[in-house]
C-alpha cells in the first residue's frame, strides 16, 4: 500500500538522516492530517466572526462547564479544564518543560534538541516511539531485569524481539563488557536499538560518571563503525539520585549531540519527579547531531500522527496544573523535603543490606537511586517468596519471574524498613 502524500513529504525530509533510516513501516506511513485539528488551529488565529470548526460548545467566548467540574478545580479557568489541548500539547507547557530539562542537564544544547511533545504518560511516550521505530524484524535491547511493561510494548504490541542483557554481573555496578558484547553483535546488522532506564526499575541503579563515559564511548564507537543507533532514555525516575558518585545528568545530554548516526529520544515527565502519578502526562524530546529544525518538525508531525490516531491529545488540566506547579513558590521547598524523605528511606534500606549478615538466598543488585532495590533469589523462587510474605506477613513486594524480588522502599515509612527487610530475610531463609 502506498503511503499518503503527506507522509511521503515527511519521509523525503527524513530519508537521508538516522531518523529516516530507523523509521518502522508504521513510522513511514504516519503523518499529521490537514483535517479538523489543523484547520481548527488555523481558525483559532483568524476566525474573528465565528469559529465553527471544533466539536466544543461555547457561551460568551468560554467553553460550557458543569459547576461540579469547575468547583473541583477552582484555580483553573474553564478553557484550562475542559477545552481540547493541541495535539502536541499546550505550547507553554512544552516550553516550560524544556527549560526545566535544560536547568537539570546543564550540558544539554537547547538548539540541538526538539521542543518536547506532550503525551498521556511516559508509557505512551515509549509506546508511540516503538510505533515509529520498531518493526517485527527489529530487536531492541533492554536491561535484565527490566520493567515488565517493556515486553508488552515491544514484543506483544509491536512484534519486535527483546534482547535482555544482564546489566549487573559480580561487581558493584554495570557490567559494561556484557553490554558492549551484545551491542557490538547487534551492530553487525547495521542498526542498534536500545532502551536505557536510569534510575533503573527494578534495580534502583544509576551509572557512575565513569560508567556514563564508558556507555557514551561505546555508542560513539558503534556509530563510527557505520551502524545507526537508536537510544531511548526512559527517565521516569530522573532526579532521585542519592550518592555523589552517581551521574546527575540524563544520558540524553551526551547522546543528543554525539554522532550523526545516533538518534536519542528522551521520555520523561513529572509523574515521579513531581509526585503526580495519576495526572498521566509525559514528554518526548528528540536529539541528534545530524538533525536540524526541519527534521525535528517532520518527526514532530510523525508523533502527532500517532497521537492523533490513538488518544487525539493529552489531558488538558494536567498540563496547566503542571505549569502552575512550576511557578508556585512552594514547589521547590516541597520537592526538597520529599527528596530528603525518600533519601532517608534509601539510606535505611542500604544500611540494613550492608550491615545485616549476608543471606545466602538473597543477593542485592546494586542500587543508589530511585524508588526501588531488588534481590536476586538464589535457590528459591521469587514468586513463592512474594506469596509467603503477602499471605503470612502482610508484606507486599513484586516478583520479577522466579529470580528477582523488588522492594519499593519509597512507598512505606522509614521506621518500618528494618522490620520489613528482616522479615524478608527470615522468610527467604525458611523456604
Residue that finishes a domain, picked among 277, 294, 327: 327
pLDDT at 51 exceeding the cut of 90: no
Q: Do the domain assignments include residue 81?
A: no
**Rounded Cα gap, residues 135 and 427, in angstroms:** 44
Q: DSSP secondary structure string, 371-393?
A: S-EEEEESSS-HHHHHHHHHHHH
Partnered with residue 262 across adjacent β-strands are 229
> What is the structure's pLDDT at 47?
65
Question: Is the per-residue pLDDT at 187 higher than 90?
Answer: yes
pLDDT at 1 over 60: no
Tell the burial category of 316 from Cβ atoms under 10 Å away from its Cβ (0-12, 13-18, 19+): buried
Q: What is the mean pLDDT of residues 79-102?
A: 96
> 282: pLDDT confidence band, cut at 50, 70 and 90?
very high
**What is the mean predicted confidence (pLDDT) over 347-374?**
97
pLDDT at 372 over 60: yes
Split into its structural domains, the chain has a count of: 2
Whether residue 282 is contained in a domain is answered as yes
CB 396 within 8 A of CB 390: yes
Q: How far is CA 23 from CA 75, 131, 156, 303, in A?
A: 42, 9, 19, 12
Indicate the residue among 263, 293, 327 that finishes a domain.
327
pLDDT tens digit sequence for 394-405: 999 999 999 999
Verify that 307 and 338 share a domain, yes or no: no
Q: Are 197 and 366 in contact (CB under 8 A)?
A: no
249 with 137: CB under 8 angstroms? no
CATH of the domain at 26: 3.40.640.10
Mean pLDDT computed over 142-153: 97
Per DSSP, the chain holds a count of helices (H) and strands (E) of 18, 13
Residue 336 sits in the same domain as residue 256: no
Residue with cell 488540566: 317
Same domain? For 119 and 98 the reply is yes
Last residue of a domain, one of 305, 327, 349: 327
Copy the grid coordinates of residue 133.
Answer: 521505530
Query: How would residue 390 be classed by pLDDT, with cut points 50, 70 and 90?
Result: very high
The per-residue pLDDT for 96 is 95
Task: Flag whether the pTM goes above 0.85.
Answer: yes
Query: What range does the domain containing 396 cover?
Result: 331-430
Closest CA to 407 of 395, 415, 391: 395
Q: Is residue 37 part of a domain?
A: no
Question: CA-CA distance, 70 to 75, in Å (whole number)?
Answer: 9
Amino acid 49: pLDDT? 73
166 shares its domain with 239: yes
Is 61 within a domain?
A: no
Residue 45 lies in a domain: no
- Residue 371: inside a domain: yes
Together in a domain, 219 and 344: no
Residue 287 is classified by DSSP as E
Would you say 84 and 308 are in contact if contact means Cβ atoms under 8 Å apart?
A: no
Confidence check: pLDDT of 8 > 80: yes
Are 350 and 395 within one domain? yes
Cell for 148?
515488565
**Mean pLDDT across 241-246:** 96
Average pLDDT over residues 60-85: 95
Q: Which residues contact 258 (CB under 8 A, 6 or more apart)?
A: 216, 219, 220, 223, 264, 289
Say what the pLDDT of residue 45 is.
Answer: 75
| Same domain as 197, residue 232 | yes
Does one domain contain both 291 and 335? no
Based on the fold, state whether residues 282 and 337 are members of the same structural domain: no
Residue 170 predicted with pLDDT over 90: no
Query: In angstroms, rounded to a whole number, what is the distance separating the alpha carbons of residues 42 and 218?
Result: 46
Is the domain of 317 the same as that of 383? no
Instruction: Determine the pLDDT at residue 9.
Output: 97
Cβ–Cβ under 8 Å, residues 325 and 221: no
Query: What tens digit of pLDDT does each residue of 115-130 get?
Result: 999 999 999 999 999 9
Least confident of 45-59, 126-140, 143-157, 266-280: 45-59
Does residue 277 sit in the same domain as residue 396?
no
- Report helix, strand and coil shares of the chain as percent, to nearest 5: 50, 15, 35
Q: Is residue 359 part of a domain?
A: yes
For residues 202 and 99, state if they share a domain: yes
Contact 145, 400 (CB under 8 A): yes
Domain assignment present for 80 = no
- Residue 337 sits in a domain whose CATH number is 3.90.1150.10
Amino acid at each position: 500500500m502506498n503511503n499518503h502524500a503527506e507522509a511521503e513529504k515527511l519521509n523525503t525530509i527524513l530519508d537521508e538522516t538516522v531518523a529516516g533510516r530507523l523509521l518502522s513501516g508504521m513510522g513511514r506511513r504516519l503523518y499529521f492530517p490537514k483535517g479538523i485539528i489543523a484547520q481548527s488551529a488555523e481558525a483559532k488565529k483568524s476566525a474573528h466572526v465565528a469559529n465553527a470548526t471544533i466539536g466544543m460548545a461555547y457561551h460568551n467566548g468560554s467553553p460550557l462547564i458543569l459547576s461540579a467540574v469547575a468547583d473541583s478545580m477552582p484555580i483553573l479557568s474553564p478553557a484550562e479544564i475542559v477545552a481540547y489541548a493541541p495535539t502536541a500539547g499546550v505550547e507553554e507547557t512544552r516550553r516550560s518543560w524544556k527549560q526545566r530539562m535544560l536547568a537539570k542537564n546543564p550540558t544539554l544544547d537547547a538548539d540541538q534538541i526538539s521542543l518536547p511533545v506532550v503525551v498521556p504518560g511516559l508509557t505512551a511516550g515509549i509506546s508511540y516511539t516503538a510505533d515509529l521505530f520498531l518493526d517485527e524484524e527489529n530487536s531492541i535491547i533492554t536491561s535484565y531485569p527490566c520493567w515488565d511493561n517493556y515486553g508488552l510494548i515491544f514484543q506483544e504490541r509491536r512484534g519486535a524481539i527483546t534482547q535482555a542483557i544482564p546489566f549487573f554481573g559480580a561487581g558493584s555496578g554495570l557490567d559494561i563488557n556484557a553490554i558492549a558484547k551484545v551491542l557490538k553483535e547487534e551492530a553487525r546488522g547495521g542498526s542498534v536499538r536500545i532502551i536505557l532506564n536510569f534510575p533503573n526499575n527494578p534495580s534502583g541503579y544509576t551509572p557512575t560518571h565513569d560508567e556514563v563515559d564508558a556507555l557514551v564511548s561505546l555508542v560513539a564507537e558503534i556509530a563510527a563503525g557505520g551502524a545507526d543507533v537508536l537510544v531511548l532514555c526512559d527517565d521516569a525516575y530522573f532526579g532521585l539520585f542519592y550518592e555523589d558518585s552517581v551521574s546527575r545528568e540524563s544520558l540524553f545530554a551526551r547522546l543528543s549531540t554525539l554522532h550523526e548516526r545516533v538518534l536519542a529520544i528522551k521520555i520523561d515527565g513529572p509523574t515521579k519527579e513531581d509526585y503526580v502519578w495519576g495526572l498521566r502526562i509525559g514528554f518526548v524530546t528528540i536529539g541528534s547531531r545530524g538533525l536540524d529544525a526541519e527534521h525535528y518538525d517532520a518527526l514532530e508531525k510523525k508523533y502527532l500522527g500517532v497521537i492523533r490516531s490513538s488518544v487525539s491529545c493529552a489531558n488538558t488540566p494536567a498540563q496547566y496544573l503542571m505549569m502552575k506547579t512550576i511557578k508556585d513558590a512552594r514547589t521547590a521547598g516541597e520537592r526538597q523535603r520529599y527528596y530528603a524523605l525518600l533519601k532517608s528511606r534509601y539510606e535505611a534500606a542500604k544500611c540494613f543490606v550492608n550491615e545485616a549478615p549476608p543471606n545466602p538466598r538473597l543477593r542485592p543488585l546494586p542500587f543508589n537511586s530511585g524508588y526501588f532495590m531488588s534481590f536476586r533469589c538464589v535457590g528459591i523462587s521469587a514468586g513463592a517468596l512474594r506469596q509467603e510474605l503477602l499471605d503470612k506477613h502482610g508484606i507486599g513486594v513484586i516478583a520479577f519471574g522466579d529470580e528477582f524480588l523488588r522492594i519499593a522502599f519509597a512507598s512505606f515509612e522509614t521506621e518500618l524498613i528494618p522490620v520489613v527487610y528482616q522479615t524478608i530475610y527470615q522468610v527467604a531463609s525458611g523456604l
